[in-house]
C-alpha cells in the first residue's frame, strides 16, 4: 500500500509516518510545504527508508499535486496539512482560509480526478482520509461529550476553517462519490510538538524559568490524547473505517488547563531540580501567571470516542500521567531542537490577543 500523506512534516503527520514506516505497514509520499510549523527532524529515521519519499509542495498548487499523484500512484490519501494554531488564526485568518479551505478543495479535486481514472479493485479500495478536530463542534458546558452527531458550531477562525474543510470533504463524497472517511480528534501532546501550543510552551518556560502564561483563570478543559495513540487511531480509520463515516477520537483525559500546568511544574521540578539560587526557592508553580483570556475561548472539549472503540477496536494506550512524564523527559533530552526553534522561528511571545487587548496592552 502506498499512502500520500499531506502535512507529514508536522507534529501529528510525522508521528503517523514514523508509525507506518516502523511497522512496515505502507510506503509513504509526504507532501508538505514546510511552513514555520514543520519539523523535518522528526522524520530523520523514516527518511532513511526506501519506503519514504518527500515532495515539497503547497496543497493549493493544483498542477504540482497532479504531478505528485501521477508520479507516486497512491492507494490512499491521509490529509493532515493545515494551519493548526488557534491563536494565530485570531491574529490573521488568511493562511487558514487558504490552506485549510482552498488547499483542501484543490486536494479533493486532484484526488477525485486521479481516483476516477483508476480501474477495478484499485478504484474501489482507494480512500481519502480527512484529519480534523473536535473544535468544529464548538464548546461544551460542564456536562456532556461531543459525538459524531453533535451539530457543528465552530467558534474560532481556525475551527471555522476546519469545519469548512469537513463540509467540503463530505460534499465531494455525496456529489462526486469520492470514498472518504473523516476523523475528529481532541488535543494531542507528545514529542516534536511546536512550542506555540500549551504543553510544550509550559515545559520550555518552566525549564528556562520564564512566566507560565495561563489564559483567563485556567479553568478551560481539554481532552488530551498522546500523539502516538492518535497515529494508531488514524491508521485504524484509514484501513477499517466505513466510507462516508466520521469517527471521533479522544483520550478520555479531561483536564483543566491549570491542573495540566501544575502537573508540568511538578514534573520539571522532579526531573530538573531548580537551582537553590533561583529567587523564591520553591517549585515552578510560582511561575504561573494568569494573563488576558483568549478571545472566544471555548470552555470545554470532551470527546465520546465509543464509535471508534466499538467499530474499529482502537483504544488509547497511554494515560495522561505517563504520557506527560514521557513528554517532559523528551523535551529535557531534545533541547537543541526547541532552542533552535526559539532562536529562529518562535520565541514564545503571546499570540492571539484581540485587537482591543492589543491596543490596551
Ligand atoms: P502542525 O501545525 O504541527 O503541522 C502542519 C503541517 O502542515 C506542517 O508540516 C506544515 O508545513 C504543513 N502545511 C501547512 N500548510 C501547508 C500547505 N499549504 N501545503 C502543504 N503543507 C502544509 O499541525 P498538527 O498539530 O500536526 O495537525 C495536523 C492535522 O491534525 C491538522 O489538520 C489539524 O487540524 C489536525 N488536528 C490537530 C490536533 C492537535 O492537537 N494538534 C488535534 C486534532 C486535529
Ligand atoms: O482540540 C483539538 C485542537 O487542539 C486542535 O485542533 C488544534 O490544532 C490544537 O492546536 C489544539 O487547540 P487548542 O487551542 O485547544 O490548543 P492550545 O495548545 O493552543 O491551547 C490549549 C489550552 O490552553 C486552551 O484552552 C488555551 C490554553 N493556553 C494556551 C496557550 C498557548 C493557555 O492558557 N496559555 C497558553 O500560552
To the query of whether residue 343 is one of the catalytic residues in this protein, the response is no
Q: Model-level pTM?
A: 0.98
The response to whether residue 197 sits with its C-beta less than 6 Å from ligand 2 reads yes
pLDDT of res. 359:
72
Q: Is the pLDDT of residue 334 over 70?
A: yes
Cβ burial of 297 (10 Å; 0-12, 13-18, 19+) is middle
Report the separation in Å between the CA atom of 203 and the middle of ligand 2, taken as the mean of its atom positions.
14
The response to whether residue 83 sits with its C-beta less than 6 Å from ligand 2 reads no
Rounded to an integer, the average pLDDT of 319-327 is 98
* Sheet (strand 187-189) strand order: 187-189, 221-226, 254-256
For 187, list phi and psi in degrees, rounded to 5.
-65, 125
In this predicted model, what pLDDT tens digit does every residue of 151-184 receive, in sequence order? 999 999 999 999 999 999 999 999 999 999 999 9
To the query of whether residue 158 is one of the catalytic residues in this protein, the response is yes
The DSSP-derived string for 330-357 is HHHHTHHHHHHHHHHT---------HHH
To the query of whether residue 215 is one of the catalytic residues in this protein, the response is no
Q: Whose CA is nearest to atom 3 of ligand 2?
A: 187
Query: Which cell numbers hold the place of 197?
Result: 501550543
The DSSP-derived string for 228-239 is HHHHHHHHHHHH
CATH architecture designation of domain 2-190+225-254+298-319: 3-Layer(aba) Sandwich (3.40)
Location of C-alpha cell 514514523: 18
User: What ligand has the least distance to the C-alpha of 289?
Assistant: 2
Atom of ligand 1 nearest to the CA of 58: 19
In this predicted model, what pLDDT tens digit does every residue of 120-160 receive, in sequence order? 999 999 999 999 999 999 999 999 999 999 999 999 999 99
Task: List residues bridging with 31 in a β-sheet.
Answer: 6, 55
Task: List residues bridging with 127 in a β-sheet.
Answer: 76
Rounded to an integer, the average pLDDT of 34-51 is 97
pLDDT of res. 358:
76
Query: Would you say 310 and 246 are in contact if contact means Cβ atoms under 8 Å apart?
Result: no
pLDDT of res. 103:
98
In this predicted model, what pLDDT tens digit does every residue of 60-114 receive, in sequence order? 999 999 999 999 999 999 999 999 999 999 999 999 999 999 999 999 999 999 9
Query: Would you say 206 and 265 are in contact if contact means Cβ atoms under 8 Å apart?
Result: yes
Which residue among 187, 194, 210, 218 has the greatest number of ligand 2 atoms within 8 angstroms of its CB, and so is best to mutate? Answer: 187
Which residue among 88, 159, 215 has the greatest number of ligand 2 atoms within 8 angstroms of its CB, and so is best to mutate? Answer: 215
Q: Where are the domains of the chain?
A: 2-190+225-254+298-319
Cβ burial of 174 (10 Å; 0-12, 13-18, 19+) is exposed
Query: Which cell numbers hold the place of 196?
Result: 506555540
Amino acid at each position: 500500500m502506498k499512502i500520500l500523506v499531506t502535512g507529514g512534516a508536522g507534529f501529528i503527520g510525522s508521528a503517523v509516518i514514523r508509525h507506518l514506516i516502523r511497522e512496515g505497514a505502507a510506503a509513504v509520499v509526504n507532501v508538505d510545504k514546510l511552513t514555520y510549523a514543520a519539523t523535518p527532524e522528526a522524520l530523520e529515521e523514516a527518511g532513511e527508508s526506501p519506503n519514504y519519499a518527500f515532495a515539497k509542495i503547497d496543497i493549493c498548487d493544483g498542477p504540482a499535486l497532479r504531478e505528485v499523484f501521477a508520479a507516486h500512484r497512491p492507494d490512499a490519501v491521509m490529509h493532515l496539512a493545515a494551519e493548526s494554531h488557534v491563536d494565530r488564526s485570531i491574529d490573521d485568518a488568511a493562511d487558514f482560509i487558504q490552506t485549510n479551505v482552498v488547499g483542501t478543495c484543490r486536494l479533493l479535486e486532484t484526488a477525485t480526478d486521479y481516483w476516477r481514472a483508476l480501474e477495478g479493485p484499485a478504484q474501489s479500495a482507494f480512500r481519502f482520509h480527512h484529519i480534523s478536530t473536535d473544535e468544529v463542534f464548538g464548546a461544551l458546558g460542564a456536562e456532556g461529550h461531543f459525538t459524531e452527531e453533535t451539530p457543528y458550531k465552530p467558534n474560532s477562525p481556525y475551527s471555522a476553517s476546519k469545519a469548512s474543510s469537513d463540509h467540503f470533504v463530505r460534499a465531494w463524497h455525496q456529489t462526486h462519490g469520492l470514498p472518504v472517511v473523516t476523523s475528529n480528534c481532541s488535543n494531542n501532546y507528545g514529542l516534536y510538538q511546536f512550542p506555540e501550543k500549551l504543553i510544550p510552551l509550559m515545559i520550555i518556560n518552566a525549564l528556562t524559568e520564564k512566566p507560565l502564561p495561563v489564559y483567563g483563570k485556567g479553568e478551560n478543559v481539554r481532552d488530551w490524547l498522546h500523539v502516538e495513540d492518535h497515529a494508531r487511531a488514524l491508521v485504524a480509520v484509514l484501513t477499517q473505517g466505513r466510507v462516508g463515516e466520521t469517527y471521533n477520537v479522544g483520550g478520555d483525559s479531561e483536564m483543566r488547563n491549570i491542573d495540566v500546568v501544575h502537573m508540568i511544574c511538578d514534573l520539571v521540578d522532579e526531573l530538573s531540580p531548580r537551582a537553590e539560587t533561583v529567587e523564591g526557592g520553591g517549585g515552578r508553580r510560582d511561575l504561573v501567571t494568569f494573563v488576558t483570556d483568549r478571545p472566544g475561548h471555548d470552555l470545554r472539549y470532551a470527546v465520546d470516542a465509543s464509535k471508534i472503540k466499538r467499530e474499529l477496536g482502537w483504544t488509547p494506550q497511554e494515560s495522561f500521567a505517563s504520557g506527560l512524564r514521557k513528554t517532559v523527559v523528551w523535551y529535557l533530552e531534545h533541547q537543541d531542537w526547541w532552542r533552535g526553534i526559539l532562536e529562529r522561528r518562535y520565541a514564545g511571545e503571546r499570540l492571539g490577543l484581540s485587537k482591543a487587548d492589543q491596543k490596551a496592552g
